[in-house]
Structure 1
Amino acid sequence: MNRTSCPRVSFEFTSKFLPPVLILVFIVGLVANGWGLKSLLHNWRKLGNVNVFVLNLGLADVLYLLTLPFLMVYYFRRSEWIFGATFCKMTRFCFNLNLYGTIGFLTCISVYRYLAIVHPMKVLGRVTVKHSVTVSVLVWLLVGVQSLPDMFYPKSGNNAWKCYETTHDDFVEDYLKYSLGWTLTGFCIPFLITLGCYGHVIVILCSKNTTDNILREKCLKLLFILILLFSICYIPYHLFKNLNLWSRVLLKQRICHEWSNGVYIAHQISRGLVCLNSALNPLIYLHGSKDIGTQLVQLLQRARRAFRLLSVTSAQSVRT
């Protein structure tokens, strides 16, 4: 089939869909993570082994959220990048650090929960905060090594005003191979480890009648949060990212398919969904601390009172 007869990919969808999503994620994520990190740091001496990973989750989220205003400008200007090629690569690198750092720390939380519940006597007193800090540093290093090759792929090609999420079409075949390997090591293996850990934990909790009901409820809540994050944020993104790269490879080889446009749009939607992880990660804070949950209720009550007061003031101003 001739390339000129290929269905036109609707690139305009990105500039219409992503900016509102990024604005929502930026506002909600910055407030939620800032408030969660403040609460965790305030109770630093009470931090457990798992909460060290939760702290790193928050830091990864804030790192990514600070790059969102630049991406908002980019998509509002219909994919015109005005901040330079170097900062473009740094912005994409921060996204990858956040995404795969989050997956890595969620996996660590799952492994620690597994050890504490299934093998409590073997790890009691042997796993310290220092161990958690060491593991966190190793996670950052591993994620950095996985993400570093992405920095060497051109993000603009012949157009200096572009900031591609992946790379230019000239290098798309090599990038697809890199992306598949990255998906395997950065997503699939951690996902399988997480499923294995919590699958075993749920079996143990449900098979022992002597198990603490509060512990069982907390583990089931955390499992639900993890399933929510993986199902909404991570699985669709990796699936449609690689499908979209494959479709670009086929298009470059003058092999056209009617589903190319649908895959591109699905990939853009998945990009919006994966950004939500920075706004959903604070759910881990709620799971891990009753104090933070209480503070959230108080915060919502204050916001409601402030809204009512503002409404009353506005009504009085209108009458006068």
Structure 2
Amino acid sequence: MNFTSCPRVSFDFSGRFLPPVYILVFIVGLVANGWGLKSLLHNWKKLGNINVFVLNLGLADVLYLLTVPFLMVYYFMGSKWIFGDVFCKITRFCFNLNLYGSIGFLTCISVYRYLAIVHPMRVLGRISVLHSVGISVLVWLMVSIQIVPDMFFSKTSGNNTERCHDTTGKIYVEDYLKYSLGWTLTGFCIPFLIALGCYGHVIVVLCRTNTTDKVLKQRCLKLLFILILLYSVCYIPYHVLKNLNLWSRVLSKQRQCRKWFDAVYIAHRIIRGLVCLNSALNPLVYLHGEENIPAQLRQLLLRARETFSRLLNSSSVPVAQTAVEV
């Protein structure tokens, strides 16, 4: 059956769903990263050699969060980009740098935890902060090399004032799909398999031996839970749906229409919002060594309640005085 064009996918969903998500990510992300960085500096010696990776993880989050207000404006205006082509590319670059930098540093943390538990005597005293700094520089370099080709694809359409694409426009979508598949392999699949292998071996060792330090075991299990949360909510669905969405666009361009196009687009928009949550969830890595997080949370909530009560009381006093005078 011949088609002149496929039925147009509705873009209204993005304007309703993404702005509230970005607002939540921006507020929670800034608060959580601020608290996390403070905790990191307070427990610098306690965290050991992974503190350098955790610090870089926080820097990647903050860098991306600074671009989120511009995305809020973009989606509030009905997906109309008013900040120009160059800044569109910068915004998308920061997102990818945060995403793949986070994956890279989480993989480094996983490898360090693996070495500390499975091969403690071999690495004892041999891994220094300088090693961690060198590895961090290498991670930033590798992530940047993977992202650079993305910057050469067209990101805007409609005289540079309409759309700021996550990927690229319709003209180059076939080439972008090939690039995206290779990027997914090197930037996501390989680090994911490394982290999976490390924690698979760690779990076996923890189950077989009772000599491992209990505090180290607890930290390892907490970190494993955080990684499972990040990969299951953010990273795995994002990469699957990103490439499916690109494939649907390629088929649509070739006038091969499928009923699942609209569902894939909406699912991709949803996960495009959820993947941003990694900036709000990453601070859990800062705090996984803290034993008193519940107590700190209760203290913060108590302070917030007291502040709110004072504001209510101060605003109700003039009202009461006015009522008496009348």
Q: TM-score scaled by structure 2?
A: 0.93
Consecutive unaligned residues of structure 2, counting only runs of 5 or more, are 322-326
Distance 1:317 1:233 in 2: 49
Report how far residue 220 of structure 1 moved.
1.2
**Letter of the 2:131 counterpart:** H
Distance 2:224 2:268 in 1: 26
Superposition map of 1:33-112 within 5 A: 33-42=33-42, 44=44, 48-112=48-112
Number of paired residues?
320
Partner deviation per Cα, 1:52-90 (whole Å, 9 max, x = no partner)? 111111100000000001111111111111111111100
Partner of 2:181: 180
**Letter of the 2:288 counterpart:** H
Partner of 1:211: 212
- Structure number with greater Rg is 2
Consecutive unaligned residues of structure 1, counting only runs of 5 or more, are none
Superposition map of 1:123-202 within 5 A: 123-161=123-161, 162-202=163-203
Alpha carbons of structure 1 residues 283 and 36: separation in structure 2 relative to 1, 3 Å = same
Superposition map of 1:226-305 within 5 A: 226-290=227-291, 295-305=296-306
**Letter of the 1:117 counterpart:** I
Name the SS of the counterpart of 2:243 in structure 1. Answer: helix
Distance 1:297 1:14 in 2: 35
Name the SS of the counterpart of 1:304 in structure 2. Answer: helix
**Letter of the 1:169 counterpart:** K
Instruction: State percent identity of aligned pairs.
Output: 74
Report how far residue 114 of structure 1 moved.
0.1
Distance 2:128 2:170 in 1: 48
Alpha carbons of structure 1 residues 43 and 202: separation in structure 2 relative to 1, 3 Å = closer
Distance 1:271 1:192 in 2: 23
Name the SS of the counterpart of 1:61 in structure 2. Answer: helix
Distance 1:178 1:120 in 2: 40
Report how far residue 39 of structure 1 moved.
3.3
Alpha carbons of structure 1 residues 89 and 207: separation in structure 2 relative to 1, 3 Å = same
Distance 2:257 2:288 in 1: 47
Distance 2:28 2:241 in 1: 25
Name the SS of the counterpart of 2:164 in structure 1. Answer: coil
**Letter of the 2:3 counterpart:** R
Distance 1:288 1:141 in 2: 28
- Report if the CA contact (8 A) 1:7-1:258 is conserved: no
Name the SS of the counterpart of 1:170 in structure 2. Answer: coil
Partner deviation per Cα, 1:180-208 (whole Å, 9 max, x = no partner)? 00001101111111111011101101111
- Report if the CA contact (8 A) 2:14-2:269 is conserved: yes
**Letter of the 2:75 counterpart:** Y
**Letter of the 1:109 counterpart:** I
Partner of 2:324: none
Distance 1:79 1:311 in 2: 39
More off after superposition, 34-43 vs 201-210: 34-43
